[in-house]
Every structure is written in C-alpha cells, then in structure tokens.
C-alpha cells in the first residue's frame, strides 16, 4: 500500500507539478504555525485552523492528481463530476471538523477561523455549482466561461489562503478584504 502511494505521488510530481506548486505553501505554513505556537507567538485557534485547512488542500491536490491520472488511463471524463462532489464534501467536512476542534480544544476562536471557514464554504459552493453544470447536459454548453471563472477564482482563493496561513496577523489589518472577499460576512 505504501509503495503504491509513493508510486502515485512520484507520478504526480513528474506529470503535473502545477498542482503541487500551487499547494506547496501549505507545508511551510503549518510548520511556521507550529514553531510560532511553541514559542507562544501563535494562538491555538490559528494553529488548528492552519493545520486543518492545510491538510484539506494537500489531500485535495493529491486526490485531483489521482483523479486526473485515472481519467487519462481510462478515458472516463464522467469521473470528473464525482471528484467535484468529493471536494465540496471535504470543504464542508473540514469546516465541521474545524468547529469541533475549536469547541473542544481552543476556547478562544480567532478571526482566522471565521475567514478561512467562509472561504472553505465558498469552495464548497463553487464545486457544487460546477458539478451541477456538468450533470445537466444543456448547461454544459450554455456556460462555457464558467470553467475559466472557476479556475481563476480557485487559484486566487488558494493563493490568499496560503498568504493568510503564512501570515495570520494579516487578517487583523485592512488587507483582510484582499484575503477574504467575503470579509464583511465574517467577524
């Protein structure tokens, strides 16, 4: 099992480094959060938020690469719809797990939790809408630009999440509106 995992991971890095590169910022963000927490410069709320969000994105990137490999081998484009629902479910499940961890471990919920939870819910809505578009045959041709909008918004939100995870204090400044376009809804 471990050998198969390593084989898939090596194939992923060789074939499509873009998914790995777009999500590589989550590893140092988690490491920095742990270091800052050990030096009492980071709250437990931020550490939990950064760790869970980083895990979700790294798992999602790996799953997408496996799905693309499967689609290339079996010529099954219908399988792409399934991975979108998996991503939507992961985003919602991640917010639920994050909330449960905060209520049990961290007694003070930080603003990073609210901002990144709002972005995770946005990702869930985006994945669900794209899934609906792919399922309904008439909508697939009607909304051709939706894939480009989805890709651009997804890359933007992923980059802003990485910035927020690397520099969580940025949420307390006016730049929070660049990080989270939905900042008016969160705390």
The pLDDT of residue 139 is above 70: no
Helix then strand then coil, % of the chain, to nearest 5: 80, 0, 20
Q: Tokens for 23, please give them.
A: 């999500």
pLDDT digits (tens, 9 = 90+) for 98-121: 999 988 887 788 888 988 898 899
- Give the C-alpha distances (Å, rounded to integers) separating 46 from 38, 141, 144, 169: 13, 42, 38, 10
CB 54 within 8 A of CB 44: no
pLDDT of res. 130: 82
pLDDT of res. 176: 73
| Number of residues assigned to the chain | 187
Contacts of 23 (CB under 8 A, 6+ apart): 57, 58, 60, 61, 158
pLDDT of res. 4: 54
The pLDDT of residue 13 is above 60: no
pLDDT digits (tens, 9 = 90+) for 157-169: 888 888 888 998 8
pLDDT of res. 52: 93
């Amino acid at each position: 099992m471990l050998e198969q995992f390593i084989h898939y991971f090596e194939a992923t890095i060789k074939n499509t480094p873009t998914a790995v590169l777009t999500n590589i910022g989550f590893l140092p963000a988690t490491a920095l959060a742990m270091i800052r927490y050990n030096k009492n410069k980071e709250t437990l709320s931020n550490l939990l938020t950064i760790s869970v969000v980083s895990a979700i994105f790294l798992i999602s990137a790996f799953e997408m690469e496996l799905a693309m490999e499967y689609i290339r081998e079996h010529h099954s484009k219908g399988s792409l719809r399934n991975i979108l629902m998996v991503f939507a479910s992961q985003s919602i499940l991640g917010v639920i797990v994050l909330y449960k961890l905060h209520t049990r471990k961290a007694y003070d919920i930080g603003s990073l939790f609210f901002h990144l939870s709002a972005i995770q819910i946005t990702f869930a809505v985006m994945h669900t809408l794209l899934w609906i578009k792919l399922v309904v045959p008439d909508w697939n041709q009607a909304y051709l630009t939706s894939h480009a909008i989805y890709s651009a918004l997804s890359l933007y939100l992923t980059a802003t999440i990485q910035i927020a995870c690397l520099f969580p204090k940025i949420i307390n400044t006016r730049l929070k509106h660049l990080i989270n376009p939905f900042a008016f809804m969160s705390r």
